[in-house]
Amino acid sequence: METEETQMFTWGDASAFTPEQNEKLERAQQIVGHRFEQPALLLSAITHPSAVEGKPVKFSYERLEFLGDSVLGALVAMEAFHRYPDLDEGGLTRIKVALVAGTSLAKVAEQLGFADVIVFGSSETGTGRRGLHSALENVYEAVVAALYLDAGLDVAQRFVAATLLGHMSLDMAKEPENPKSVLQEKLQEDGITPTYKLIETQGPPHDRTFVTQVYAGLQALARGVGRTKKESESQAAEKALRSIEAADTELKKAERARRKAEKSQAKKAAREARRVEKDA
């Protein structure tokens, strides 16, 4: 059923989509397991902002991501609430935060195959798609919103249950390690000690918000915001850890690709050597 909200995302007839859009849209529908009445919703959900530069924001996943974040949070909270009846609010919150964290969503989205269906613009593909990790997270949330708008909460819930809720565990309710300590241990492997600098204080004296930047040497890693200096430092450390983890993942992929290429080249050289020996 077409609503005023879905009309906002309509790009026109599917016949107006490019071959790449149609191909990726079809694959995305297979991954999601839902045939969209409004395919433009799903196309928006898998479209990186770089692919629609100069067009309204509704044509990429940015607005859908905003809605999907809230829908996903509610679905995860409800599942945790019913699954663990003896947990207090703190434990339930930690489970929710762990499950909807960017790293968690990006990992699930990659496993589903979303990396191959995201529509990137030339400005992003030219950089080797360095923003793939955050794009995967955003696309997952946007897809949840697209399902919700196209078919209702039950369909969105079934997708989340099939792809994400299986990763929920009681261990997520445990008190997490202090991100500042974890970051320090991580950086000290390379002989670096992180430093924190308060760069901005916002709001009136009775309602302060603190903004802190964490550095590795002279390199700024991440910025955190909190109601206290300690909270802003913790947020900065947590964001820095996520960035480092994402960079490590990309490096590992590059290393695997390099080893594969070297192995292929070695096999090719061996075949050529055997051919030369045989001809001789």
Within this chain, do residues 166 and 185 fall inside the same structural domain, yes or no? Answer: no
Within this chain, do residues 257 and 132 fall inside the same structural domain, yes or no? Answer: no
Last residue of a domain, one of 135, 155, 173: 173
What CATH number did the domain enclosing 258 receive? 3.30.160.20
Question: What is the tens place of the pLDDT at every residue in 160-219?
Answer: 999 999 999 999 898 666 788 888 878 877 788 899 999 999 877 767 889 999 999 889
Within this chain, do residues 183 and 157 fall inside the same structural domain, yes or no? Answer: no
| The total number of structural domains that make up the chain | 2
Lowest mean pLDDT among 7-11, 30-34, 177-181: 7-11
Phi, psi of 206 (to 5 degrees): -85, -5
Q: For residue 159, give Cα distances in angstroms to 56, 91, 152, 200, 242.
A: 28, 24, 11, 41, 25
Token couple for 125: 């593909």
pTM, two decimal places: 0.61
Between 46 and 125, name the one with better pLDDT: 46
Question: What is the tens place of the pLDDT at every residue in 105-131?
Answer: 989 999 999 999 999 887 765 555 556
Within this chain, do residues 19 and 94 fall inside the same structural domain, yes or no? Answer: yes
Q: Domain range for residue 71?
A: 4-173
What is the pLDDT at residue 53?
A: 82
pLDDT exceeding 90 applies to what percent of the chain?
45
Within this chain, do residues 156 and 22 fall inside the same structural domain, yes or no? Answer: yes
| Range among 8-12, 160-164, 268-272, 273-277 with highest mean pLDDT value | 160-164
Residues classed as catalytic: 69, 141
**For the sheet containing 219-226, what is the strand order?**
194-202, 209-216, 219-226
Within this chain, do residues 264 and 233 fall inside the same structural domain, yes or no? Answer: yes
